């Protein structure tokens, strides 16, 4: 079994220069109610990157720790107990203690990804949807979107199917097609400051992933869409495509054996299907590939 897992993950990282990836530094801030740090670190480490897990308090005390980072990963969890609103306290602390450094990091070409609480934080922080054309750089944009309570109130933990937009500038979702991942949240509905903003993001293909129903179509209907996000939106990227957040947890699908239908698929002789487009490791491989290529986006 171990050799099969290694071979599967090697295939998903195909095309990556392992020696070059080993020089990439990934920073995973931790603490204050965050979790999923082990799974997120494992995703990048399986692909050969150097991962540093750093308590948020240490990063705030020494913002220079952000220098030389290729990818910044905002993990899931319940930062500060989700008091006031999910991700609000954490986002405020980052904005007023690290805002200029974060804005400069992105302006200089850094990549960032956020899963679940990480996505909630990124929207409230202004990293997503990111600066407008007239915004000065490097400063964080004002908050323009948020993640609020699910239409069907309550925490839902279930696997979801998503489809990626092939026209999106998002470097993280390139070539993924359809994929699955666990979704675990009570506040996952993406909302916008204005209808004008929503239409602009749609026109720019900056909703890279959408929940889909059994027919493969974007849906707002529960349970395929656990939150009721309009248009089936499951995530968002900035204009460059380097900054990306989503509500589901791709870091929880690093091996085909993580899938709840793995045993049934293996019994049916269909295990190879789960080793393909459904594996979350592909998304992290895309991020590392973009970092190696020095993506700057539009």
Mean of the per-residue pLDDT values of the chain: 89
Q: How far is CA 252 from CA 38, 77, 168, 210, in A?
A: 10, 13, 24, 18
- The reply to whether 185 belongs to the active site is no
254-283 pLDDT, tens per residue? 988 888 877 666 666 655 555 443 478 999
At 124, which helix (H) or strand (E)? helix 117-125
Q: Is the pLDDT of residue 171 over 90?
A: yes
Q: Spot the catalytic one: 116, 164, 170, 279.
A: 116
Q: Is the pLDDT of residue 6 over 80?
A: no
Q: Spot the catalytic one: 187, 251, 259, 279.
A: 251
Of 34-43, 130-139, 170-179, 247-256, the range with the lowest mean pLDDT is 130-139
| Residue 232 burial (C-beta neighbours within 10 Å; 0-12, 13-18, 19+) | buried
What is the average per-residue pLDDT within 191-201?
96
With cut-offs at 50, 70 and 90, classify the pLDDT of residue 134. low
- The reply to whether 251 belongs to the active site is yes
15-64 pLDDT, tens per residue? 789 999 999 999 999 999 999 999 999 999 999 999 999 999 999 999 99
Kindly list the structural domains of the chain, giving each domain's residue range(s) and its CATH number in brackets, ordered by start: 2-293 (3.40.50.880)
Q: Spot the catalytic one: 39, 170, 180, 249.
A: 249
CA contacts within 13 A on the Cβ side of 22: 3
- The reply to whether 249 belongs to the active site is yes
- pLDDT at residue 136, rounded to an integer: 59
């Amino acid at each position: 079994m171990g050799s099969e897992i290694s071979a599967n993950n090697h295939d998903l990282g195909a095309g990556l220069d392992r020696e070059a990836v080993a020089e990439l530094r990934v920073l995973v801030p931790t603490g204050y109610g965050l979790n999923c740090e082990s799974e997120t670190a494992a995703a990048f480490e399986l692909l050969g990157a150097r991962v540093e897990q750093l308590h948020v308090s240490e990063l705030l005390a020494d913002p220079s720790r952000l220098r030389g980072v290729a990818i910044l990963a905002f993990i899931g969890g319940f930062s500060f107990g989700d008091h006031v609103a999910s991700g609000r306290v954490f986002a405020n602390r980052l904005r007023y203690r690290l805002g200029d450094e974060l804005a400069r990091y992105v302006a200089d070409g850094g990549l960032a990804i956020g899963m679940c609480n990480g996505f909630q934080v990124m929207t409230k922080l202004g990293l997503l949807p990111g600066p407008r054309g007239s915004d000065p750089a490097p400063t964080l944009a004002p908050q323009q979107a948020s993640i609020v309570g699910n239409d069907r109130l309550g925490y839902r933990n279930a696997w979801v199917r998503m489809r990626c937009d092939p026209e999106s500038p998002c470097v993280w979702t390139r070539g993924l097609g359809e994929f699955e991942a666990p979704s675990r949240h009570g506040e996952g509905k993406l909302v916008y400051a204005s209808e004008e903003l929503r239409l602009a993001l749609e026109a720019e293909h900056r909703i890279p992933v959408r929940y889909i129903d059994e027919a493969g179509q974007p849906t707002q209907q529960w349970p395929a869409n656990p939150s009721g996000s309009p248009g089936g939106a499951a995530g968002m990227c900035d204009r460059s495509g380097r900054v990306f957040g989503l509500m589901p947890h791709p870091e929880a699908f690093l091996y085909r054996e993580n899938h709840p239908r793995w045993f049934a698929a293996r019994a049916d002789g269909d295990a190879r299907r789960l080793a393909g487009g459904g594996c979350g490791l592909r998304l992290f491989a895309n991020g590392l590939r973009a970092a190696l290529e020095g993506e700057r986006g539009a």
